[in-house]
Amino acid sequence: MYTQMSDGIDGQPNASDERERAFERRLERGVKIEPPDWMPEPYRKTLVRQISQHAHSEIVGMLPEGNWITRAPSLQRKVILLAKVQDEAGHGLYLYSAAETLGTPRDDMIAALHAGKAKYSSIFNYATLTWADVGAIGWLVDGAAIINQIPLTRCSYGPYARGMVRICKEESFHQRQGFDIMWKLAHGTPAQHAMAQDALDRWWWPAVMMFGPPDAESTHNRQSLKWKIKIFTNDELRQKFIDQTVPQAERLGLKIPDEQLRWNERTQHYEFGPIDWEEFYRVIRGDGPCNKDRLQARIDAWEEGAWVREAAAAYARKQAERGAVA
Amino acid sequence: MSSHVEYVLRFGDSALVLAQQLSGLVAHSPIMEEDVAIANVSLDLFGQARLWLGYAGELEGAGRDEDRLAFHRDASEFRNVLLVERPNGDFASTTVRGYFYDLWSYLALGNLTQSLDRRIAAIAEKSRKETAYHLRRSEDWLVRLGDGTEESHARAQRAASELWPYTGELFMGDDVDVEMARQGIGFDPERVREPWLERARLALATATLDVPGDSWMQHGGKQGVHTEALGYLLAEMQVLPRSIPEAVW
Ligand SMILES: [Fe+2]
Ligand SMILES: [Fe+2]
């Protein structure tokens, strides 16, 4: 995953510019923008922010599930989870590279994350308390990620769109393995079933919030839609997620924690209860259960690893010198 | 338990314990690319462990599968060498431990490919290919750390000295080894001592590290007498299946 567009747009394009008009014509014709192409600065900045946020989310997202690798309950589950977390590292690296094509070095993006200036998806500020949370994350969080990201395979920036194609394939495997964990638990012992229900109770609303604030409050929807960095609005994606997920919960025999959830025959969509946006903004502001721990874990890995990176650089320098002499 | 089962468990448990240790490092590496690499090695080792444990369970014939063996045995029933249960420590410790193990494993598996037990030979064949890659990687890092900065050199040297006393066990045979060698199923572990020492000395020299001096060699893991670290590792690994023993996951 895991995009969550919670930021605004930097500045406004200057339509008087001829290059600007050419750029917009390309967008209209559906021609991809590639790294060497001219692009308006606000488009570039918005993309760097969105792609780096996405990359950070992949990397921070390794932590909540990473928690459970050492405690996974069977060897099969363990290797599947380990491979999944490894995939997320690959996604992060891939996305950092895509963002680097826009001229921002990876280390700068990481520094911004560690300084608290860059965001990542808030969903990872929730705690993984039981094994069922690993299932719930795969099922719901990766599930939401797919819904967010499939449209991005058609986004206007070439490297990002192509990255999404590859990443989405792996995310759908993640979603299936999560559902499979939930299935085993929901159909297991009473204790396992309770574990699954508890995880759904805690993850449902945060997952629904992953699509970002409602369209009415979203300041950036319009420009990003015009730039084809975003294809559907937050609310459209959220509805799609709910419509897709409710029948899956029914198949699991689990109850979604929303008393107002009901099928609307006329609209052919599920209606759902009010979302606690208070909580959403509180967690984004830094007061979720794990904000500080997650960021600190990243900072610790970086700082404690400094001597290793220095050693690798020093060795490479020495080797180059030896090569020059020899 | 038959010598045959014991013997297979030793290889399986060593791979399992090291895999478990490495799996806990993923998402905390000094370089993001290393998260991917460590996960790769860990995944390979879990894969090897599953082959060994699965086979041990079949040989035993008591209905224990890989998970029963991994999650429902106490520390004293584990047969891994002590080296792999030493804590991860810093990146230098992880690297040196990995290197000592990889080099031994590569050589041991080479011998096992000649086993008259065709199942063992097949597992060894597959595992050796993976281990060749692990060995290249850990040797590469050993050299980079040893010949990197003053700090990395000091850390690598300390790790090598601390872990050296756990290398002797790799070459110590016991009755099980003798019996397996006699049947052509296994090999005399003493046979890999010289090749191991030769390559390790060379790698340490390339890394500008001193070969640690002779010392008392800790042993007992292969017979089920472990260090304190293993109990904690197993407590974490086994907590869930033990909490609901009848559950399917
Ligand atoms: Fe991902
Ligand atoms: Fe994923």
Average pLDDT over residues B21-38: 97
List, as ranges, residues 156-185 from A with C-beta within 8 Å of B.
181, 184-185
> What is the per-residue pLDDT for A229?
86
Q: In angstroms, how far is CA B4 from the centroid of its own chain?
A: 19
Query: How does pLDDT run across A161-192, given as a tens digit for each residue?
Result: 999 999 999 999 999 999 999 999 999 999 99
Residue B33 is predicted with a pLDDT of: 96
Residue B13: which region, alpha, beta or left (left: phi > 0; alpha: psi -120 to 50)?
A: alpha
* pLDDT bracket for residue A3 (50, 70, 90): low
The length of chain B, given as a count of residues? 249
ipTM: 0.97
Hey, what are A195's tokens?
């574990």
Across the interface, of A90, A191, A297, the residue whose CB is closest to B244 is: A191
Give the residue-averaged pLDDT of A283-307: 96
B15 touches B54 (CB < 8 A): no
Angle A75-100/B32-60 helices, nearest 10 degrees? 160
Any idea where the domains of chain B sit in the sequence?
A: 3-243
Out of A85, A189, A300, closest to residue B39 by CB: A85
B218-233 pLDDT, tens digit each = 999 999 999 999 999 9
B222, B173 Cβ separation under 8 angstroms:
no
High-pLDDT (> 70) share of chain B, %: 100
CA nearest to B191, candidates B208, B170, B213? B170
Q: A79 CA to chain B: closest CA distance, Å?
A: 6
Q: What is the pLDDT of residue A160?
A: 96
CA B84 – CA B221 distance, rounded (Å): 10
Gap between the Cα atoms of A153 and A156, Å rounded: 9
Nearest to B7 by CA among B222, B243, B168: B222
pLDDT for the residue numbered B1: 83
Confidence of residue A14 (pLDDT cuts 50, 70, 90): low
Give me chain A's average pLDDT, please.
93
Nearest of B45, B44, B24, B46 to residue B35 by alpha carbon: B24
Q: Which of A57, A69, A75 to mutate to test the interface with B (most CBs of B within 10 A)?
A: A75
- Residue A141 DSSP label: I
**Mean pLDDT across the stretch A37-66?**
96
**Mind telling me how many Å the CA of A129 is from chain B's nearest CA?**
12
Burial of A107 (0-12, 13-18, 19+ CB in 10 A): exposed
Quick one: B3-243 is in which CATH superfamily? Ferritin, core subunit, four-helix bundle (1.20.1260.10)
Helix (H, G, I), strand (E, B) or coil at A300: helix
Contact B240 A72 (CB under 8 A): yes
Closest CA to A60 of A160, A128, A152, A135: A128
Q: Which two tokens stand for residue A76?
A: 């099969």
- In this predicted model, which residue has the larger pLDDT, A217 or B174? B174
Closest residue to A307, CB basis, from B28, B147, B149: B149
The structure tokens listed for B24 are: 């806990």
Residue A5's pLDDT band (cuts 50, 70, 90)? very low
Q: What integer best gives the mean pLDDT of chain B?
A: 98
Q: A103 vs chain B: nearest CA distance in angstroms? A: 20
A123 Cα–ligand 2 center, Å: 13
Per-residue pLDDT band at A222 (split at 50, 70, 90): confident
B61: left (phi over 0), alpha (psi -120 to 50) or beta: left
Euclidean distance between CA atoms B100 and B167, whole angstroms: 7
Q: Which residue has the tokens 């290249």?
A: B136
Q: What DSSP letter does each residue of A208-274 carry, written as one string?
A: HHTT-S-GGG-SSHHHHHHTTS-SS-HHHHHHHHHHHHHHHHHHHT---S-TT-EEETTTTEEE---
pTM above 0.90, yes or no: yes
Nearest ligand to the CA of A174 is 2
The pLDDT of residue A2 is: 52
- The whole-number average pLDDT for the span B74-94 is 98
Q: Are the C-beta atoms of B209 and B153 separated by less than 8 Å?
A: yes
Helix axes A291-304, A41-60, angle to 10 degrees: 90
